[in-house]
Structure 1
Amino acid sequence: MGSKKSYGIEKKQARWGFAFVVPSLLFFSVFSFYPIINAFYTSFFNKKALSKAAPDFLGLGNYARLFNPATAGNELSFLNSLKSTLVFTVGTFIPLLIISLLLAVFISNLSKNGTKRFLQIAYYCPAILSSVVAAAIWMIIFDPRGLGNQWMNNLLNTPGVDHKWLVDPIMEQVSTMVIYFWKYIGYFVILFITGLASIPPTIYEAATIDGANKWNSFWRITLPLLKPTVVLVSVMAMLQCLKTFSTQYMLYSNGAPRAPINVITFNIYVTGIQQQYLGRASAMSVVLFILMLILTLFQFKTTNSDSVEY
């Protein structure tokens, strides 16, 4: 009797739990799964926004147009957007991952709690700003009379030189990387600090007794035990870089050339919203989705993150 009563209570609780979860699942499905499915469907049609005409079925025509080798020389083509996205992702993702880890280790090893809290807040403050505000701040810095040129001229001993942060193609790409790095470095530092705090200090004490120095402790203890956090941060940072849009849009809106910073998301916006080619923009979205999925699976497969036991 007791087991049946317990089973009945558990079943009743499961029903109520399911009832409370269903609205969230429906909300998530409507606003997440439906747009993905609709994008796949729309990518097979020549659909234009604000057009009452029935869209023509193209099959894989939109995808063939995106990867047409004849458009490779066009600076605003999808192939150029793919290249710009990969350049931005590699140039931002690697410094974000490495420097955020080093900063987290440095902050965690500080002895004064007040200094720790101050540095954590200082690094995290840019993360709470919107991307538009962050881009606006740095556009002032990258102005020919701004601090960007002053810092570079002091560093390179080239007084009075304009480094054309928002004009030169390479410097424009570097500018977007610097803005993104400054905005998100604090967020990933906090994640690494949280992961470091979960490592028992007794492990380091035992390593010190055995004669290990800080360098050996970092490579033999910190990195292996921090592996799940490294995987989490690397996946999040990579996806964040692939989805970048606001920074490039702000720079372009203020007169910067579009071609060097024409990442996939920006090209989707121009194609789908400004030019109203929804089918072509949907095909770009599908390609970006598949690219993000492949890179995420690749990271999980290469890192082979298993559960860590202390």
Structure 2
Amino acid sequence: MPRKQKRSHRGIERKKAIWGWIFVSPSLLFFSIFSFYPIANAFYTSLFKKDLLSLRPPKFVGLKQYTYLLSSPTFWNSMKATFVFTMGTFVPLVVFSMVFAAFIMSRKRFQKFFQMAYYSPAVLSSVVAAAIWLLILDPRGLANQFLNFIMNTPGIDHKWLATVGMVRFSTILVYFWKYVGYFTIIFIAGMASIPRNFHEAARIDGASSWQIFWHITFPLIKPTTLLVSIVAMIQCLKTFSTQYLFVQSGAPRSPIDVITLNIYFTAIRDHRIGRASAMSIILFGIMLFFTWLQLRVSRSEEVSYM
């Protein structure tokens, strides 16, 4: 390539780079102010011992907040509650959202209706969803009436928000109901991207619907499955509103004392902002790990339709 053309090419590339930075700078500024700075400030705050309402200057304690949390039974109970809720929620979310998406895609009529019906709970805020289920799970609510009808046990209170197992199951049920439609739509988008001639060729060869799904659809939506799995897990790790409203309504706190709820009570009720910041950083690290895992695994799970 002649020198003149090289200089012209470099000039064009430089202009593209400049305009690229100009276009992404608003997003970078937004994330710097509302994401990167709060994360850095939370880590800085976690190094100090400070009462939220005290006028005394904070006392530098280094990593003592983290060492305290690693030896705290309350914190490990929060880790356990978060793990139980996450495992109990994201597995049914992934499985049932995939099944619902396959069901909707197999329908020739009313596809849009089913999509709207499944997705409608996701439009509600978490607070509204939890408030609705508080009424359903009331001793005189629909949940007790339905179970008593199925089990032929009239008048029995199944204590949805009283016992350890039931309150855990109730929070899982609320979250599943709210988000299964959201992930169903993501699976539908993944399935819709598969060329139709793959399925048509399989039908011509005599494959059944189950064989088509297991040998064609499922392998080709692996990237979507990974995405849904990691996003669902991170979403479960961030849960707060349902547990908070249930505790405020009289449910025992210990079985559903997830990390976010513990952070709230530590900072707002106990005024230990440094310790709450340390828990926030630990939670951020867990989320960062799963995000890294998703990015790493997705590289090896790319599919091609060629």
Q: Does the alignment reach a TM-score above 0.5?
A: yes
Residue 48 (structure 1) aligned with residue 45 (structure 2): no
2:30 corresponding residue in structure 1: 27
1:83 to 61, 80, 84: 80
Q: Is 2:252 the partner of 1:249?
A: no
Aligned-CA RMSD value: 1.8
Matching residue of 1:174: 169
- The answer (yes or no) to whether the contact 1:81–1:267 under 8 Å persists in 2 is yes
Do the aligned partners of 1:228 and 1:305 also contact (CA within 8 Å) in 2? no
Q: 1:158 aligns with which of 153, 156, 166?
A: 153
What is the aligned partner in structure 1 of residue 20 from structure 2? 17
Any unmatched runs of 5+ in structure 2?
A: none
Kindly indicate whether residue 118 of structure 2 is the aligned counterpart of residue 123 of structure 1. yes
1:141 corresponds to which residue?
136
Q: 1:10 offset after TM fit, Å?
A: 4.8
> Does residue 1:287 correspond to 2:282, yes or no?
yes
- Give the Cα–Cα distance (whole angstroms) in 1 for the partners of residues 98 and 201 of structure 2: 23
The TM-score with structure 2 as length reference comes to: 0.93
Identical-residue share of aligned pairs (%): 57
Which of 106, 109, 117 matches 2:106?
109
* Structure 1 spans left out of the alignment, 5+ residues: none
Shift of 1:252: 1.4
Is the 2:227–2:294 contact (alpha carbons within 8 Å) kept by the matching residues of 1?
A: no
Q: Distance in 1 between matches of 2:274 and 2:302?
A: 43
Residue type at the aligned position of 1:27: F
**Count of aligned pairs:** 302
Which of 193, 202, 211 is equivalent to 1:216? 211
The TM-score with structure 1 as length reference comes to: 0.92
Partner Cα distance (1:219, 1:201) in 2 = 16
Contact residue 243 and residue 261 of structure 2 kept, 8 A: yes
| 1:309 corresponds to 2:304 | yes
Counterpart pick for 1:94 among 91, 95, 98? 91
Structure 1 distance, partners of 2:77, 2:104, is 40
Q: Is this contact kept in 1: 2:70–2:76, CA < 8 A?
A: yes
What is the one-letter code of the residue matched to 1:26?
Answer: L
Matched, 1:264 2:272: no
Q: What amino acid is aligned across from residue 279 of structure 1 in structure 2? A: G
